[in-house]
Amino acid sequence: MIRYLIRRVLWAVVLFVVVTLVTYVIFFLVPNDLAAKIAGQGSSQEARARAIHHLGLDRPVYVQYGKFMWGLIKPVPVHIGSVPVFVRPNGNLGYSYIRATPVNELIKSAAPVTGSLVFGGVIVWLLIALPIGILSALRPRSLMDRASMTFVLVGISAHPIWIGLIFAYVFGFRLGWFPISNYCNFFNHAGGCGGPAQWAYHLILPWITYAILFAALYARMIRANVMEAMTEDYVRTARAKGAPEPRVLRSHVLRNALLPVVTMLGMDIGVGLGGAVFTETIYNLPGLGKLILRAIGETDLPIVMGVVVFATFAIIVFNLIIDLLYAWIDPRIRLS
CATH of the domain at 298: 1.10.3720.10
Are 182 and 308 in the same domain? Answer: yes
Domain-terminating residue out of 89, 121, 136: 89
| 75 lies in some domain | yes
Confirm whether 97 is domain-assigned.
no
Residues 125 and 10 in one domain: no
In a shared domain, residues 299 and 329: yes
Residues 243 and 127 in one domain: yes
Residues 239, 248: contact at Cβ < 8 Å? yes
If one counts the domains in the chain, the total is: 2
Say yes or no: 77 and 118 in one domain.
no
Which pLDDT score is estimated for 90?
Answer: 67
The radius of gyration of the chain from alpha carbons, rounded to an integer in Å, stands at 25
Residue where one domain finishes, among candidates 63, 89, 115: 89
- Residues 238, 186 share a domain: yes
Identify the pLDDT of residue 15: 84
Own/partner pairs for 76-79, CB < 8 Å, 24+ apart? none
Residues 189 and 244 in one domain: yes
pLDDT value of residue 270:
73
What pLDDT, on a 0 to 100 scale, did the predictor assign at position 240?
82
Domain final residue pick, 36, 59, 89: 89
Task: Say if 287 falls within a structural domain.
Answer: yes
Do the beta carbons of residue 135 and residue 195 sit within 8 Å? no
Looking at residue 93, what is its pLDDT? 79
Contact 182, 172 (CB under 8 A): no
Residue 316 is assigned to a structural domain of this protein: yes
Q: Verify that 167 and 254 share a domain, yes or no.
A: yes
The answer on 233 and 170 residing in a single domain is yes
Q: For residue 94, is it within any domain?
A: no
Provide the pLDDT for residue 152.
84
Domain housing 316: 103-335
Each residue's pLDDT tens digit in the chain (336 positions)?
Answer: 677 777 877 888 888 888 888 887 877 776 666 666 666 666 677 777 777 777 777 777 788 888 888 877 777 676 666 666 556 676 777 788 777 788 888 888 888 888 888 888 889 988 988 888 888 888 888 888 888 888 888 888 888 888 888 888 888 888 888 888 778 887 776 666 777 888 888 888 999 988 888 888 888 888 888 888 777 777 778 778 777 877 877 777 777 777 777 777 777 777 777 778 888 888 888 888 888 888 887 778 888 888 888 888 888 887 777 777 766 666 555 545
67 and 175 together in one domain: no
Q: Which residues lie closer than 8 Å to 17 by C-beta, 6 or more apart?
A: none
Looking at residue 275, what is its pLDDT? Answer: 76
- Residue 332: the pLDDT is 58
> Does this model's pTM top 0.85?
no
Distance separating alpha carbons of residues 123 and 147, to the nearest angstrom:
22
Task: Evaluate the CA torsion angle 107, 109, 115, 118 in order and state its sign.
Answer: negative
201 and 261 co-located in one domain = yes
- Classify residue 96: in a domain, yes or no: no
Q: Which residues, 6 or more positions from 276, have their beta carbon under 8 angstroms from its beta carbon?
A: 114, 117, 118, 121, 210, 287, 288, 289
- Contact assessment for residue 35 and residue 47, using Cβ atoms and an 8 Å cutoff: no
